[in-house]
Amino acid sequence: MTFDLSARLAERRAAHLFRQRPLLQSPQGPLVQVDGRELLAFCSNDYLGLASHPEVIRAMQQGAEKWGVGGGASHLVIGHSGPHHELEEALAAFTGRPRALLFSTGYMANLAAVTALVSQGDTVLEDRLNHASLLDAGLLSGARFSRYLHNDAESLGKRLEKAEGNTLVVTDGVFSMDGDLADLPALCAAARRKGAWMMVDDAHGFGPLGATGGGIVEHFGLGIAEVPVLVGTLGKAFGTAGAFVAGSEELIETLIQFARPYIYTTSQPPAVACATLKSLELLHSENWRREHLNRLITRFRQRAAEIDLSLVDSPTPIQPILVGDSERALRLSALLKDRGLLVGAIRPPTVPAGSARLRVTFCALHSDAQLDRLLDALAECWPLVAGDA
């Protein structure tokens, strides 16, 4: 018997689910070169526009000159450099927690936190729409794994009644495909009533949300008592790369001792940590980025209602346009691309069957004129696709 990979690929193509990688030939920004064309992009997670900021670039260059371009080893051998340590201290202060621990990717941070905290005989409860890394972490932990109805504290409560051993409740802060917010006050209350810990992956919340960009926990005025395990990524609003877990002294030491994705991997390049320190400084000092981003979101939703776009209730830079059928989602994306706009079509299995969408994302560097160009194109193209429903 041999693997028949061609049949699997053909099946995916036939279902309009085949994925292809656009070739980016320029830095991140509103205007990009993709596959040889200049396009106006509305599909990046660089929410604050820091990925190509001159000061961030300069910080990375200076960091590379001083620290080299490789981490060299794991943090526990000889890979934990001065910039890594300084960034962890800065992230702890940013989140208002005693400690933070740096990871190379968000996927690794989520795998590390869940698998280090629960195992066989314990329970992990997750939102049905959590990111794949959170769901994978729950399955790999060996704990009893269950998914509650999306953003439903009552559904969570029923599963908490049946929980065994140490219990970890896990949710995204901002759900990456819908842009809606976790109902953290209700979810945290349900968890605390049963003595469970709450873990929040706020990958898409840090930067856009909160009075100072502190994310969904700041947005709701919650603290370490309600959310003992807080995860954030640095490749989105921070504009660099990597991730972190923030929490108590005991939590971070537990991860250092028991989290296999932390122990058995080389640290990120120190120069990346230098760049992230500058990004964090800019996030604090340049509030106009978050303010402009919020104005773009408000303006988009107002005009989208006028042209009858099918949106999700999202207050974040993630503004999905629900299409339903994968083939029609691809068609709408292609129509926009013909007009010089890049907006990706998101299809199953990333989203549930029948909920294909265009995932519009905004950046603080988008201008009002660029937003109007997107809306004018959608007003022209949406009836061509919606009429096929």
pLDDT for 56 beyond 60: yes
Please give the Cα distance from 283 to 260 (Å, whole number): 31
342 and 382 together in one domain? yes
Residue 117 located in a structural domain: yes
Catalytic annotation, pick one of 81, 176, 326, 333: 176
Structural domain count of the chain: 2
Residue 74 located in a structural domain: yes
The 10s digit of each residue's pLDDT in 261-289 is: 999 999 999 999 999 999 999 999 999 99
Residue 49 located in a structural domain: no
Structure tokens at 380: 């022209």
Mean pLDDT computed over 347-356: 89
- The values of phi and psi at residue 5, to 5°, are -70, -30
Q: Would you say the C-alpha torsion 214, 52, 234, 270 has a positive or negative sign?
A: negative
209 and 75 together in one domain? yes
Active site residue 162: no
Please give the Cα distance from 40 to 384 (Å, whole number): 21
Please give the radius of gyration of the chain, using alpha carbons only, rounded to the nearest integer: 21
Q: Give the pLDDT band (50/70/90) at residue 87.
A: very high
pLDDT for 332 beyond 70: yes
Structure tokens at 349: 């299995």
Residue 182 located in a structural domain: yes
Q: Give the pLDDT band (50/70/90) at residue 16.
A: confident
Instruction: Name the average pLDDT for the chain.
Output: 95
108 and 81 together in one domain? yes
Q: Give the pLDDT band (50/70/90) at residue 20.
A: confident
| Alpha carbon separation from 246 to 7, 110, 342 (Å, rounded) | 44, 12, 35
Structure tokens at 369: 């004129």
24 and 105 together in one domain? no
17 and 165 together in one domain? no
Please give the Cα distance from 279 to 311 (Å, whole number): 31
Percent of the residues in the chain that have a pLDDT greater than 90, as a whole number: 89
The 10s digit of each residue's pLDDT in 23-36 is: 989 999 999 999 99
Q: Which amino acid is at 179?
A: G
What per-residue confidence (pLDDT) applies to 1?
A: 59
Please give the Cα distance from 42 to 303 (Å, whole number): 16
pLDDT for 258 beyond 60: yes
Report the CATH number that the domain containing residue 359 is assigned in CATH.
3.90.1150.10
pLDDT for 388 beyond 70: no
Mean pLDDT computed over 200-214: 96
Catalytic annotation, pick one of 236, 278, 292, 366: 236
109 and 28 together in one domain? no
What per-residue confidence (pLDDT) applies to 4?
A: 86
Active site residue 236: yes
Domain containing residue 38: 13-42+287-386
Catalytic annotation, pick one of 53, 131, 204, 292: 204
What per-residue confidence (pLDDT) applies to 385?
A: 85
What per-residue confidence (pLDDT) applies to 389?
A: 52
Mean pLDDT computed over 320-335: 93
pLDDT for 6 beyond 70: yes
299 and 176 together in one domain? no
24 and 75 together in one domain? no
What per-residue confidence (pLDDT) applies to 82?
A: 97
Residue 6 located in a structural domain: no
242, 259, 285: which is the final residue of a domain?
Answer: 285
Q: Which amino acid is at 5?
A: L
Q: Are 379 and 307 in contact (CB under 8 A)?
A: yes
Residue 198 located in a structural domain: yes
285, 309, 337: which is the final residue of a domain?
Answer: 285
What per-residue confidence (pLDDT) applies to 116?
A: 98
129 and 19 together in one domain? no
What per-residue confidence (pLDDT) applies to 15?
A: 86
94 and 176 together in one domain? yes
Residue 5 located in a structural domain: no
Mean pLDDT computed over 316-327: 94
Query: According to DSSP H, which parts of 131-171 are helical?
Result: 132-140, 153-161
285, 311, 330: which is the final residue of a domain?
Answer: 285
The 10s digit of each residue's pLDDT in 149-190 is: 999 999 999 999 999 999 999 999 999 999 999 999 999 999
Report the CATH number that the domain containing residue 267 is assigned in CATH.
3.40.640.10
Please give the Cα distance from 76 to 264 (Å, whole number): 9
345 and 219 together in one domain? no
Closest CA to 235 of 204, 200, 196, 261: 204
60 and 89 together in one domain? yes
Active site residue 53: no
Residue 91 located in a structural domain: yes
> Cα–chain-centroid distance for residue 64?
27
pLDDT for 133 beyond 80: yes
